[in-house]
């Protein structure tokens, strides 16, 4: 239940839907496992857990949705080997050369023949929506996964005014200033990890692990022109994460006190996940304005 990453998207307008209405829209594209000859299948599943029913889980002002994708695993090497075998058989039996166009046709036939026997692998993409305040947070660091979920939401809703947030101050410049002047906002502390990079596509990168961030060596790198692209932070003893210049929170780790706060509900898995979801959402909703404030707020 506890998110591992947060990729933020700003909702510029209200959706005009409540949780039940959104669930009805998502129901038009439920997840269905791959058919034998189908390479992949994607659709919506119950948000809270596989044993739940609601496609949109609502708790206070927070909603959660979950997109599931299943792929058939058909290694390219297996396809190439089978294509080569069939080509060799044709050339030996008919004493002729098999050219590219025919090889492509054989490859397509091989793929369709082997797909029903391929193993499947599935993964889910969760998203937390704080619709009244205009935020959607995807539990994935990958831009591609975030856009995949947004694409399916747009399909269900008929459009979704979501975009990556832009702050008034450059996050890389601000984070570099934090390190140079040991001037973190109140409530934050440095972790022991950071990535520094020179501006430009060809710039060098320095990756720091398991060391003090606000030390002379790191400051020397920054004074030479590098900027902080990612830095590990701890907030109020409640959670730790790696903050990127893209405003993505990676490797979120909530404090044990939070994670274990609903031990009394361990006999009811859904009730515990519901309580954990609300606590996680409230914590992120409290953290997020503080981060945005540190970067001068959102650009209008």
User: Is a pLDDT exceeding 80 seen at residue 43?
Assistant: yes
Query: Which of 9-13, 43-47, 65-69, 127-131 shows the lowest per-residue confidence on average (mean pLDDT)?
Result: 9-13
Report, as an integer, the average pLDDT of 107-112.
88
- Residues 241, 285, single domain; the answer is yes
- Residues 68, 184, single domain; the answer is no
| Burial (CB count <10 Å: 0-12, 13-18, 19+), residue 60 | exposed
- Residues 111, 122, single domain; the answer is no
Residue with tokens 């992120």: 284
Distance between CA atoms of residues 26 and 11, nearest Å: 18
The total domain count for the chain is: 3
In a domain, 270, yes or no: yes
Report, as an integer, the average pLDDT of 99-119.
88
- Residues 29, 149, single domain; the answer is yes
Pull the structure tokens for residue 255.
Answer: 């404090």
List the 249-254 sheet strands across, edge first.
Answer: 205-209, 188-197, 227-235, 239-244, 249-254
pTM: 0.87
Q: What mean pLDDT value characterizes the chain?
A: 93
Question: Looking at residue 87, what is its pLDDT?
Answer: 87
Question: Looking at residue 151, what is its pLDDT?
Answer: 95
Q: Which of 163, 197, 231 is the last residue of a domain?
A: 163
- Residues 263, 223, single domain; the answer is yes
- Residues 290, 197, single domain; the answer is yes
Q: Which of 130, 163, 196 is the last residue of a domain?
A: 163
Residue 67: pLDDT band with limits 50, 70, 90: very high
In a domain, 84, yes or no: yes
Domain that holds residue 139: 7-74+117-163
- Residues 41, 129, single domain; the answer is yes
Report, as an integer, the average pLDDT of 45-53.
94
Pull the structure tokens for residue 26.
Answer: 């998502």
- Residues 127, 152, single domain; the answer is yes
- Residues 126, 252, single domain; the answer is no
- Residues 27, 158, single domain; the answer is yes
In a domain, 299, yes or no: no
User: Is a pLDDT exceeding 90 seen at residue 110?
Assistant: no
In a domain, 286, yes or no: yes
Report, as an integer, the average pLDDT of 83-106.
90
Query: Which of 74-78, 144-148, 250-254 shows the lowest per-residue confidence on average (mean pLDDT)?
Result: 74-78
The answer to whether 125 and 148 are in contact (CB under 8 A) is yes
In a domain, 2, yes or no: no
**Model confidence over 188-242: pLDDT tens digits?**
999 999 999 988 777 788 999 998 998 888 989 999 999 999 999 999 999 999 9
- Residues 159, 263, single domain; the answer is no
- Residues 68, 42, single domain; the answer is yes
């Amino acid at each position: 239940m506890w998110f591992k990453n947060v990729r933020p998207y700003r909702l510029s307008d209200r959706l005009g839907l409540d949780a039940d209405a959104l669930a009805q829209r998502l129901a038009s594209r439920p997840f269905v496992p791959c058919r034998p000859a189908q390479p992949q299948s994607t659709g919506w599943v119950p948000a809270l857990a596989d044993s739940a029913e609601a496609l949109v889980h609502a708790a206070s002002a927070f909603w959660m949705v979950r997109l599931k994708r299943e792929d058939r695993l058909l290694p390219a090497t297996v396809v190439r080997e089978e294509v080569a075998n069939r080509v060799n058989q044709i050339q030996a039996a008919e004493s002729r050369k098999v050219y590219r166009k025919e090889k492509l046709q054989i490859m397509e036939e091989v793929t369709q023949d082997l797909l029903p026997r391929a193993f499947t692998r599935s993964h889910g993409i969760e998203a937390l929506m704080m619709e009244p305040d205009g935020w959607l947070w995807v539990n994935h660091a990958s831009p591609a996964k975030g856009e995949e979920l947004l694409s399916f939401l747009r399909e269900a809703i008929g459009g979704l005014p979501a975009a990556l947030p832009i702050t008034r101050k450059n996050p890389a410049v601000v984070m570099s200033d934090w390190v140079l002047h040991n001037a973190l906002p109140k409530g934050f502390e440095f972790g022991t990890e950071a990535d520094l990079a020179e501006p430009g596509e060809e710039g060098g990168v320095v990756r720091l692990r398991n060391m003090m961030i606000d030390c002379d060596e790191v400051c020397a790198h920054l004074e030479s022109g590098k900027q902080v692209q990612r830095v590990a932070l701890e907030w109020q003893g409640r959670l730790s994460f790696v903050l990127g210049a893209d405003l993505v929170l990676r490797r979120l780790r909530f404090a044990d006190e939070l994670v274990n706060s609903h031990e009394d509900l361990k006999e009811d898995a859904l009730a515990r996940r519901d309580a954990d979801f609300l606590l996680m959402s409230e914590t992120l909703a409290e953290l997020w304005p503080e981060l945005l404030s540190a970067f001068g707020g959102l650009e209008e």
